[in-house]
Structure 1
Amino acid sequence: MNRDHTAPPAGRGTTPPPTRPIPLTWLYAPGDRPGIVQKALTSGADVVIVDLEDAVAPDRRAYALDATADLLADPQPVPVHVRVHAPRDIPTLVSLPGLVALRVPKVTHPTDIGRIAELSQGLPLYPLLENALAVEHAYAIATAHPSVHGIALGEADLCADLGVRDDRGLDWPRSRIVVAARAAALPPPVQSVHPHVRDLDALAADCARGRAMGFLGRAAIHPRQLPVIERAYLPAPDEIAAAEKVVKAAESCHDGAFVLPDGRFVDAAVVTGARRVLALAARRS
């Protein structure tokens, strides 16, 4: 089953327009603070992730679940995912009209997905890989069930698990999930959050590095991070011009592969990448 898509799948009770832009910004908001969630929905984020896990104190998780269920009883203006704390949260959420997908933390093995998929009744799932075993099983998790629509790293927990003291220690796990997602015909993974909300220069630099590694978009924990992430992931004018040449040549060429006038070899994968660049470029208009 080819699941190489560029926009979040439609949730129950919602029908997002087919021309919805490729999502680049994914904003977390704590489920026990409905006012902040409401602000997140109007922040300009492409996707809002209501968090029932790390952002919520243990003694407030029941309230967070109830508050999130109340909010998502109606369709929302942007796609909303919920990061659940535990499988027992899912029956309360699964049929809500305002819910598009579930983000599932601490998935370590493909067998974890079967149980979650049964509870979620076909709702799209985004497993979060947060330890060494999960990274080793990345492709198996990505292909464990048709309900899996994307994978991502949970880098804070992964750093703790690996004992990583320098950001470079995550290079291999990051590349691993990019490759696993592509091999499973899933969208490119979204970068994990950048925890220093005031250091926007460091955020921009890290986004540029993530983009070079094959990520597409990034999760955020504060609205001020959203414009930085979007700018970092939008294609530059020279990239757009090059993509236009590739797509134009592909439309007039019926061969499986061809060579551009500048000598560059082009095949189906290059054309797919060029079309993604043009889809992202449409966000500039």
Structure 2
Amino acid sequence: MTAHAHPHGAESFGITPETTPLTWLYAPGDHPDVVRKALSCGADIVIVDLEDAVPPDRKQYALEATAELLTSPQAVPVHVRIHAEQDIPALAGLPGLSALRIPKVTHATDIRRPAALAPGTGLYALLESASGVEHAYAIATADPAVRGIALGEADLRADLGVRDDRGLDWPRSRIVVAARAAGLAPPPQSVYPDIRDLDGLAESCAHGRAVGFLGRAAIHPRQLPVIERAYLPSQEEVEEAEEIVQAAETDAGALALPDGRFVDAAVVATAHRTLCLARRGA
């Protein structure tokens, strides 16, 4: 197979300059003023949270306030992380709703029910338990409405009894592989809970990028530029990708660069992906 015939370009990774989100900002649904501020913070996607961020006695108010906000289109895509399936009828079909995020998904059936309740609405499955991770591919392919999967690492850490962050590397790789096998975009990283530790956030993002994540959820606007910088390719990476693509355009098959590196179709596809992300940040 020649480099030009390789089917795995940037688009097959679910990556285009226009549609690739890198930053996903959570905002509590029971504070509409905070949600409105989040919509102007520069995040690619705002996630209105009706679950963990909302006390039990305010969940109904959060749902009603969110539904009212979403009666009109928003300038930024808005996802809603529901608390329970009973939230869905109040949100489905609203002009300002871009997608629903379904928490604590453990089996494919946990996706099929929301898909039936909200036809035509994109769904994102949050895997927060060992069972969810084990069924990652089945969940990712459970319904055409599924647009992505992601880990909920706080709950997963508790479920597994993991004390060291390295203990989550296998589940992280598992959902990256499942998303790719299902033809979905690479999943974003779970939130980094310490909003003051921006150096730690940057280091964690670098590790996540190496594992195969693309972008990250945030819980404070100050985290957004750190995440974006971490996930956009460096100038050195862009220059290397340009060299690879230019070399491929002058040679129909596998080739070697002047420094001896071997370049085949898969390497060219990765280079196209890098350049696509670079155009996003231009």
Q: 1:49 aligns with which of 47, 50, 54?
A: 47
Aligned pairs for 1:235-250 (under 5 A) are 235-250=233-248
Q: 2:81 aligns with which of 80, 83, 90?
A: 83
Q: 1:176 aligns with which of 174, 179, 196?
A: 174
CA distance in 2 between partners of 1:82 and 1:242 (Å):
39
Amino acid at match of 2:82: V
Secondary structure of 2:169's counterpart equals: helix
Aligned pairs for 1:1-285 (under 5 A) are 4-6=13-15, 20-255=18-253, 257-285=254-282
CA distance in 2 between partners of 1:181 and 1:217 (Å):
14
Secondary structure of 2:186's counterpart equals: coil
Amino acid at match of 2:268: V
Q: TM-score scaled to structure 1, two decimals? A: 0.90
CA drift at 1:245: 1.9
CA drift at 1:116: 1.5
Secondary structure of 1:149's counterpart equals: strand
CA distance in 1 between partners of 2:145 and 2:127 (Å):
16
Query: Deviations 1:147-200 (Å, cap 9, x if unpaired)?
Result: 111110000000110111111111111111111111111111100000001111
Q: TM-score scaled to structure 2, two decimals? A: 0.91
Go from structure 1 to structure 2 and tell me whether the alpha carbon gap of 1:120 and 1:254 turns closer, same or farther (over 3 Å shift). Answer: farther
Amino acid at match of 1:6: I
**Which residue number corresponds to residue 8 of structure 2?**
none
Percent sequence identity over aligned pairs: 69
The 8 Å contact of residues 21 and 280 in structure 1, kept in 2 or not, is answered as: no
Go from structure 1 to structure 2 and tell me whether the alpha carbon gap of 1:253 and 1:204 turns closer, same or farther (over 3 Å shift). Answer: same
The 8 Å contact of residues 29 and 37 in structure 1, kept in 2 or not, is answered as: yes
CA distance in 2 between partners of 1:42 and 1:95 (Å):
23
The 8 Å contact of residues 82 and 99 in structure 1, kept in 2 or not, is answered as: yes
CA drift at 1:21: 5.0
Go from structure 1 to structure 2 and tell me whether the alpha carbon gap of 1:101 and 1:272 turns closer, same or farther (over 3 Å shift). Answer: farther
CA distance in 2 between partners of 1:258 and 1:80 (Å):
45
CA distance in 1 between partners of 2:12 and 2:252 (Å):
25
CA drift at 1:284: 3.9
Q: Which has the higher contact order (CA 8 A, sep 6+)?
A: 2
The 8 Å contact of residues 148 and 185 in structure 2, kept in 1 or not, is answered as: yes
Q: What is the aligned-residue RMSD (CA, Å)?
A: 1.7
Amino acid at match of 2:15: T
Amino acid at match of 1:142: A
Unpaired segments of 5 or more residues in structure 2? 1-10
Amino acid at match of 1:266: V
How many residues end up aligned between the 2 structures?
272
Secondary structure of 2:27's counterpart equals: strand
Amino acid at match of 2:14: H
